[in-house]
């Protein structure tokens, strides 16, 4: 198989890199709580936001000749360090059809399939890292977390559990701490399934003349802009599957759009090295008769404003 010339690499590598940067999975939701912020270096200080960044200042009136009040937006706290992750997608020549083969030895279409599978693996790795950060109890202030048990869990339909009350407490705590009401609620898939059958929800859809409790209706019921169901699963080497986000619920105020700067007052974000994910020059291994497509990412998720989040641990049994 021919090797790529420098001219061919200049054309193909940007195309494949663009494909890799555009791949996403519908079941992965980590970017909702941790939107991507592109940075120009692999290390720096996390831009952390305190409550002063969420609230309006008083005493802004300035007398003639008087001093102007000053405010620092955000501050550098603990250092961050982007971690490089690399993985190679393999494309054996046996999987290529002659009609699809290009003069380079592989087709862009087949390369796309290989890249999508490879980048999917790396996306799931990031999702697991984001979920681990968001579902660690110690990452929240003591008043921004609760652990449910027994009849208080939302899977108990005896009339004791009170999803609406728990969520209202969470919303008010975030508002009182930051001046912002949470705009997203992330539910583990089992939590979503149990909530749909909860008497509070069933009564709501009955009197609201609705047929089924969708995520949109739950958002309406709980009074948040959006309810996100985190359907991602992970598997052990033995093939045992489990939910990435567990049986928990998370409320947060988060900037859900990609940010153009280092960050804004928000629950969290993901630092990503600008221009990444990066697809390096594909190469052909004669011994394995396979094309390889190296992909490299440099990223790390961080919590920027823990007071802007509320963790409901073990929401269901």
Q: Is the pLDDT of residue 153 over 60?
A: yes
**For residues 86 and 311, which has the higher predicted lDDT (pLDDT)?**
311
Which of 46-60, 74-88, 188-202, 253-267 ranks highest by mean pLDDT?
A: 188-202
Mean pLDDT of all residues in 87-101: 70
pLDDT at 217: 95
Residue 102 has what pLDDT?
A: 56
DSSP string, 133-176: HHT-GGGS-GGGEEE--GGGSTT--SS---HHHHHHHHHHHHHH
Task: Look at residue 178 and tell me if it is in a domain.
Answer: yes
Q: Has residue 58 been placed in a domain?
A: no
Q: What is residue 315's predicted lDDT score, i.e. its pLDDT? A: 98
- pLDDT, position 278: 84
d(CA 39, CA 265): 17
39 forms beta bridges with: 273
More confident residue, 97 or 69: 69
Is residue 94 situated within a structural domain? yes
Cα 151 from Cα 138, distance rounded (Å) = 24
Does residue 57 lie in a domain region? no
In a domain, 197, yes or no: yes
Mean of the pLDDT values across residues 42-63? 66
Please check whether residue 114 lies inside any domain of the structure.
Answer: yes
Is residue 293 within 8 A of residue 88, CB to CB? The reply is: yes
Residue 85: phi, psi to the nearest 5?
Answer: -125, 130
Does the pLDDT value for residue 11 go beyond 80?
A: no
Read off the pLDDT of each residue in 24-39 and give the average, rounded to a whole number: 83
Say how far apart CA 305 and CA 174 lie, in whole Å. Answer: 11
pLDDT band, residue 4 (cuts 50/70/90)? very low
More confident of the two residues 298 and 108: 298
The predicted structure's pLDDT at residue 15: 55
Q: Does 284 fall in a domain? A: yes
Number of folded domains that form the chain: 1
* Run of H or E residues at 130: helix 108-134
CB 93 within 8 A of CB 289: yes
- On whether residue 72 sits in a domain, the answer given is no
Instruction: Give the structural domain span for 36.
Output: 6-50+78-313
Give me the percent of the chain exceeding a pLDDT of 90: 46
Peptide bond into 268 cis (omega under 30): no
* CATH number of the domain to which 231 belongs: 3.90.1690.10
pTM summary value: 0.81
């Amino acid at each position: 198989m021919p090797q790529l010339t420098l001219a061919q690499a200049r054309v193909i590598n940007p195309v494949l890199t663009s494909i890799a940067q555009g791949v996403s999975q519908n079941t992965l939701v980590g970017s909702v709580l941790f939107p991507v912020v592109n940075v120009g270096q692999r290390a720096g200080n996390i831009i952390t936001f305190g409550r002063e960044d969420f609230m309006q200042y008083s005493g802004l009136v300035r007398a003639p000749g008087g001093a102007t009040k000053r405010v620092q937006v955000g501050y550098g706290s603990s250092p961050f360090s982007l971690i490089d992750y690399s993985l190679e997608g393999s494309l054996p020549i046996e999987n290529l059809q002659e009609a699809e083969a290009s003069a380079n030895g592989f087709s862009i279409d087949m390369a796309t399939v290989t890249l999508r599978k490879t980048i999917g693996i790396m996306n799931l790795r990031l999702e697991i890292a984001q979920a681990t950060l968001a579902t660690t109890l110690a990452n929240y202030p003591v008043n921004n977390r609760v652990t449910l048990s027994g009849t208080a869990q939302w899977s108990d339909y005896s009339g004791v559990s009170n999803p609406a009350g728990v969520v209202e407490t969470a919303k008010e705590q975030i508002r009182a701490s930051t001046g912002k009401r949470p705009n997203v609620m992330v539910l583990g898939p089992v939590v979503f399934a149990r909530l749909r059958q909860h008497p509070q929800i069933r009564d709501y859809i009955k009197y609201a003349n609705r047929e089924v409790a969708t995520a949109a209706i739950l958002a309406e019921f709980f009074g948040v802009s959006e309810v996100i169901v985190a359907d991602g699963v992970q598997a052990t080497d033995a093939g045992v599957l489990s939910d990435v986000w567990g049986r928990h619920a998370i409320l947060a105020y988060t900037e859900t759009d990609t940010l153009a700067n280092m960050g804004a007052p928000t629950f969290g974000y993901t630092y990503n090295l600008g221009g990444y994910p990066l697809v390096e020059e594909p190469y052909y291994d004669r011994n394995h008769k396979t094309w390889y497509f190296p992909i490299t990412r440099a990223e790390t998720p961080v919590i920027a404003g823990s007071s802007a989040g509320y963790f409901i641990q073990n929401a269901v049994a």
